[in-house]
Each structure stands twice: as structure tokens, then as C-alpha cells.
């Protein structure tokens, strides 16, 4: 819990938790790649799929199956034209959590339930 508390105070916190994630070989590959996405950056489902020689939809399904969604930052994976989904949700409460995490990390600078702008927050 200390590392999660630290993350919510400082998003650059590095997680060094021992994870015993159970999933298919493909899911394990996706989750390993997600852990390499730095705070403050995003990748699209398609970019990850190309890197793994797969399809964007398969990457989305692996993200949906992620059992540890902040430590394995599936919230940093977005659609080509917007946020995509989060934990299988494309419009509701779970997607609002993804918005909040991306705002916390400085990636999302404008967001409403139907529109989001990705990119670094403008300088004050």
C-alpha cells in the first residue's frame, strides 16, 4: 500500500512489487510491455499490437484481463482517436478512472465524458 500511496502523491513513483500475475503467454507479453510505458506517456493499442505482431483488439482484451491495473499501467494504452476503454468500459465509471489516472500523470489536459485531448498539460 505504501507504493500506491506514493503513486497517488507523486505519479513518477516506481513500483517494485513482486507480481505473480496469472495469464496466457500473450497476456504476459502485453503486461510486460505495459510496464515499460513511462509515466506521462501513452501508446495506442495498435502500436503495441504491431510491436507484438498481433491485433489491437487482442491487446485490448489483454488489458481488460489485467489483474493489477495501476502497477501494470493499462490506463496508458489509448485508442488511435481517443481514450479507448478501461477494464471493459468505454463510457462509464471505469473509463472515468482512466481519465483521472491520465490527468494525474499529466497526459490528459482536457476531458469530458465524450471528448478528451491527450498531450502534456500546457505550461502555467
CA-nearest of 54, 51, 49, 14 to 35 is: 14
Q: What's the Cα-to-Cα distance from 8 to each of 2, 28, 70, rounded to whole Å?
A: 10, 25, 10
Chain position carrying cell 490527468: 103
Question: Residue 85 has what pLDDT?
Answer: 76
Fold topology of 24-111: Arc Repressor Mutant, subunit A (1.10.10)
Query: Per-residue pLDDT averaged across 59-67, rounded?
Result: 94
74 part of the active site: yes
What does pTM read for this prediction?
A: 0.82
Which candidate in 56, 71, 74, 107 is catalytic? 74
Q: What is the pLDDT of residues 3-51, one digit of tens each?
A: 889 998 888 888 888 888 899 999 999 999 999 999 989 999 999 999 9
Spans of all domains in the chain: 24-111
pLDDT band (50, 70, 90) for residue 121? very low
Residue 116 has pLDDT above 70, yes or no: no
Residues of the chain above pLDDT 90, percent: 47
Residues of the chain above pLDDT 70, percent: 86
Amino acid at each position: 500500500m505504501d507504493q500506491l500511496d506514493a503513486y497517488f502523491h507523486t505519479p513518477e513513483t516506481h513500483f517494485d512489487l513482486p507480481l505473480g500475475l496469472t495469464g496466457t503467454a500473450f497476456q504476459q507479453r502485453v503486461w510486460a510491455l505495459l510496464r515499460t510505458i513511462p509515466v506521462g506517456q501513452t501508446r495506442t493499442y495498435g502500436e503495441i499490437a504491431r510491436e507484438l505482431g498481433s491485433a489491437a483488439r487482442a491487446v485490448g482484451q489483454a488489458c481488460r484481463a489485467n489483474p493489477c491495473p495501476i502497477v501494470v499501467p493499462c490506463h496508458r494504452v489509448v485508442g488511435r482517436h481517443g481514450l479507448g476503454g478501461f477494464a471493459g468500459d468505454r463510457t462509464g465509471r471505469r473509463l472515468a478512472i482512466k481519465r483521472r489516472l491520465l490527468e494525474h500523470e499529466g497526459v490528459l489536459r482536457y476531458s469530458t465524458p465524450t471528448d478528451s485531448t491527450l498531450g502534456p498539460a500546457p505550461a502555467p
